[in-house]
Every structure is written in structure tokens, then in C-alpha cells.
Structure 1
Amino acid sequence: MRFLLAVFVTAAVVVPLTAAVRPAVPAPEPATLAPLTAATLEEAYTANRANAALASRMAAAHGDRHRAASDRALAAPSRRLLAFDGRGAGRAAEVFGDLAHADRTAVLVPGSDTSLDTYERFHRAAAALHHRLTAKAPPGTRTAVVAWLGYTTPGTVSATAVTPARAEEAAPELRAFLRELRTVSGPKAHVTLLCHSYGSVVCGRAAPRLDVSDIVLLGSPGTGVDTAADLRARARIWAARGGDDWVGSVPHVSADLFGTTVGFGTDPVSPSFGARVFTAGPGGHSDYFTPGSVSLANLTRIVLGETTEVTRA
């Protein structure tokens, strides 16, 4: 029975996803940077854009036009890259807004099937949130958004999509990144962590004692714990799922099979989990940052600290 349950969980999570492309293309080592501070931000942006441009040329010479185009887009003068690594599936951290002076910053953590090859959709989500924050922030409130592709997301047609292994590898990276972010934004800035799909498993592993105001779980298959309190986070815990999100059909269970944990446990939008559940509208798994959506409106309110205005489910 436990084996059949694990197979069902695997099918429910993996089948709806589109397989990611993981090209074995050559790329340079990441740029060598000075310690990140407000004073070194522009230096980091410049160095990482140059590294992305070099990665694009190397990918083009290798014959991978798709990766070359993705890297070239990230190398554009308007892009603000805190980090870039073109090797393998690739990693990047991109800033929208004035990070050094932001009063409120949102950090987006993506889920499965996110790589440099699919980065544009992640970029669109972060840009949509930043646009909404800019439009809705009260006078005098400065905002920024960071798209953090700081880990190798699970392959879609693989066991890693339904096990915590990649999240356990990613959690220390996320903690370190958020500490580094504090050296730029300062101790008074409010940071909100927005965790989508498998990214919510990453955030669940990283949650204990994180210096963030809010953790938001979007379209989450679970976090690996039974309750929000078990995350041992100082932050407020929020959760939402769109009406047409296929994750609602995933069995929210966890089973140990042959020494491996399969599944992520309690549904974060269930009453027993204890999160602050808010409405996300009728959207699907990839629609949480759609301009004009109920979900994006509520995410904006959470980031801005307007928690009494959030429409609760």
C-alpha cells in the first residue's frame, strides 16, 4: 500500500509538469566578487552581466541557441544580477528595484522545472510583483523584488520532484543568501519570502530562525512538517492555492520507502496546518503572479505589511 501511495504521489506531481531542458553546455566560472554591500551592488551587477554575456557566447559556439538567448537576455544593461552561474541548469539572482534603499523586499523562490532555460517565466512573475508593489506602495515606501534561482531545482521526470533531497541541499544556500541580503538592505528592512510549489519545500527546510517577516506558501505540495508551528519560524506563515491548481489533487502524505522520504505531508491550506490561508482566485499552478489576479493583489498586501487587507479564504 505504501508503495502504491508513493507511485500515486509521484504521478500526481510529475505528470502535469513539462520536462526541463538540462543542456550540458560550456560556461565560465562565476564572476569573482567583492563582499556584497550597498556600496558594491553596481560592481556585482556589472560583473555578473559580463559573465552572462560570456556564457551566451560560449553557448552559441556550442550550438545551443536557446541557452545562448537566455544568457544574452540576462546580460542586457537593464538587468541587475546579484549572482549568475551559467553552468549546468544554471543559477541566478536578479533584483527589481532599489535593493539598497528598499523598506520592503520580496524574495521569490521557484519550484520544479525552473532553470536558465525556463528563466523568462520566473522573470515575468518577479517583474509583475514589482510593478504592482510600485503602484500600490504608500508614499515614501520603497520596495524591491529578488528572483532567487539559487539552487538546482528538481528534474520533473525524476524521484527528486517528490523527495526533500534538493530542498535539503538548497536550504543552507537560501539562508546564506538572506543573510547576505541583510548586509545590503540593512536590519530595518522587512523581507517577505514567497515560495512557489517545490520552492515551499525549500523554504520549509530553511524556515527555522530566518530573519524574515512573512513566509508565503503558494501551490505547495507540503513542507515536510505537520503544522506551521513545526517550521519553527519567527515569521508569519501564509498559504494559498488557486482554484484550478493541480496540486490540490496531490495526496498530502509522507512515507518512508527504502530509506527515502516520499511526499511532503500536511496540506498547507488545510485548517490542521495552521497557516494564514488567503484567497488566490481561480487560477492554476502557474498563475499566482498574473497581473490583475486576486493572488497578486493579496501577495502585494502581504509584502507591504497591509495584512488586515488580505482577503482570507
Structure 2
Amino acid sequence: MVLPLSAAARPEIPAPPPAKLPPLTAAGLDQAYAANRANAAEAARMASAHGDTHRAAADRALATPTRHLLRFDGRGEGQVTEVFGDLAHADHIAVLVPGSDTSLDTYARFRADATALHRELDRTTPRTAVIAWLGYQTPDTISTTVTTTGRADQAAPQLRQFIRQLRGIAAQDDTTVSLLCHSYGSVVCARAATDLDATDLVLLGSPGTGADTAAALHTRARVWAARGADDWVAEVPHIRTDFFGTTLGFGADPMSPSFGASRFAAGDGGHSDYFDPGSVSLTNLARIVRGEISEVTRA
């Protein structure tokens, strides 16, 4: 077996610590948004002084007055949680959990996915909100970490806590929360699944979850799975093996009938195409978020 090499280390980019805020509530959202924008603006100044113009530009974009940031941390690879829509009054909330190679430097492409979903939802169901949750340090695609659950195990408690916070913000007890988990993000969602107060758990282009079946995730959420016809992840071996004390791989294919997920159509797209405007997958994702289960086209 040949293991991928870790990516070269990048010099640390200076940034302030995250803004100190009280527990999130619907009434405190504007305060949180303003504080995190101010933090991003300071991070942009520090990155610029450090000579990292690319990071400075990414931070500066997040600091603009139209951005709604629930959390921002410009240190290291960076983390950000951004809201699209009126979170305090949403009947349906979708949380996007990204896969490998997602950081502040590449955040724009992840944000584009969230924006596309929000626009699709908003066409017919205005009381919806979409959240781009970059709340963990994602692995590099060319690294050993992408083949283990290590980063996912670290991220799972933060994701559980965030979903609990969302339930405290939601205007109604019956507000739905759907997790849309892409690639390695599906491993994160799987590790967080137990006691996760979510309505739906959607695995997109998943390499596996570390569980043999959907039932083994021990979640009350409906478990969905989809894979585009041109997604290279279909070629990933669905194995789990010990290698010098480290477990490599994620086991069963969520698209396998024996896994037990509700499989839905994702069209002909590739690994990065699940949120493409007009795509079969985006249409079905919006139906899942809205709770239109009978309208979802099955694979």
C-alpha cells in the first residue's frame, strides 16, 4: 500500500483570536455578525502586514457589511461559519459540512455551494436558511489524514455543539435541520451522528463513514446518500484496515443497498458538482431540506 505524502507546511499567518461572544441566541445574532466581521477585518490587516495578500483578500471579503458570520477564526488554515437567509425565523435550516482542502484560502468555492442552495430554496420557500460550516481543520487531499477518521473525530464534538446552538436559535420547535455532508465531511457527520438533533443526514460523494450500515450511525435523522455518475470517489476502495496501529479507510459504501441509506439521484456530475445550479442533485437536495420527501427522485 502506498500512502500519500503530507502537504508542505505553510508558515503561520498571524490573526487575532476569535471574538468573545455570549451564547448564541436569536436576539444576539446581529451582535455576533458584527463582532465576527470586525475580527475578520483585523485578521485582514494582520495578514496584509505579514505579506500574505491572498489571505488578506479572503479575510477582507468576509468583513464586508453584508456577511453574516456566526464564527470566524483567521488563525492557521482558518475557520468560518456563515449564514445565508434569516436564521432566526427559518422553518428549514441546511448546514453544509465540507470535505478536504477547504480552508479560508479556498472558502469561496464552498461559499458558492451554500449560495446556490439558498437561491434554490428561496425560489419557493422564503423561510429557509443555509449555513456554510467550516468549523474544523479539513485534511489535505494529498495527505495521510484524509484516509483516517482523526480529523473527523476532532470535529464531531464541535458539530454536535453547533447543532445544539441552532436549536436554541430556531424560532419553532419543529424547525428542520438538514446536514449536507460532502466527501470527507460525510465522515465528520457520521462521527457526530449519535445524539445529533438533525432531521436529515445527507452523504454526498462519500468515501465511506466508518460504519457498516446507516443503522450503525445511531441517529434519529433520515440518512440519505448520493453520488454523481462522474464522481471519482466511486473508485475509492471501500475497505477499513489496520496499518501499524492506524485504521485506514472508511469501510462500507453508503451507496450500497446493504448500507441502508435512502439513495437519491445526483445526475451526471462529478465530485464537486452536487450544488451546481440547475442540476438534478441540487433540486433533490432542496426537496430534502424542505421536507418534500415524496418528490425526491431516487437512484
Normalising by structure 1, we get a TM-score of 0.93
Question: How far apart in 2 are the matches of 1:246 and 1:157?
Answer: 15
- Tell me the equivalent position of 2:224: 238
Does residue 1:162 correspond to 2:150, yes or no? no
Residue 147 in structure 1 maps to residue 132 in structure 2: yes
What is the identity, as a one-letter code, of the residue corresponding to 2:135? G
Deviations 1:74-104 (A, max 9, x none): 0011000000000000001000000000000
Q: Structure 1, residues 3-38: CA drift from partner, whole Å, max 9, x if none?
A: x3xx3xx56xx99xxx79855110001111121100
Tell me which residue corresponds to 1:42: 30
Matched, 1:109 2:94: no
- Superimposed CA distance per residue, residues 113-148 of structure 1 (whole angstroms, 9 cap, x where no aligned partner): 0000000000000000000000032xxx61000000
Contact 1:255 1:262 in 2 (8 A): yes
Write out per-residue CA displacement over residues 24-74 of structure 1, whole angstroms, 9 at most, x where no aligned residue. Answer: 110001111121100100000000000000000100010000000000010
Structure 1 contact 37–184 (Cα < 8 Å) conserved: yes
1:20/1:113 contact within 8 Å kept: no
Which residues in structure 2 correspond to 1:231-270 (within 5 Å)?
231-270=217-256
Residue-pair matches, total: 298
Output aligned runs, 1:1-313, within 5 Å. Answer: 4=1, 7=2, 22-137=10-125, 142-186=127-171, 187-313=173-299
> What SS does the aligned partner of 2:297 have?
coil
Deviation >6 Å, runs of 4+: none
Please tell me whether the aligned partners of residues 22 and 89 of structure 1 are also in contact (alpha carbons under 8 angstroms): no
Residue identity over aligned pairs, in percent, reads 67
- Report the secondary structure of 2:283's partner residue: helix
Q: CA 1:290–1:21 in structure 2 vs 1: closer, same or farther (change >3 Å)?
A: farther
1:84 alignment partner, SS class? strand
Matched AA of 1:281? G
- Distance (whole Å) between structure 1 residues aligned to residue 269 and residue 113 of structure 2: 14
Does the 8 A contact of 1:240 with 1:269 survive in 2? Answer: yes
Q: Is the 8 A contact 1:20 1:114 kept in 2?
A: no
1-side partners of 2:199 and 2:161: how far apart?
17
Amino acid at match of 2:262: R
8 A Cα contact 1:252 1:266, kept in partner = yes
Instruction: Structure 1 unaligned segments of length 5 or more: list them.
Output: none
Q: Mark the runs of 5 or more structure 2 residues left unpaired by the alignment.
A: none
Compared CA separation, residues 118 and 21, structure 1 to 2 (3 A): farther
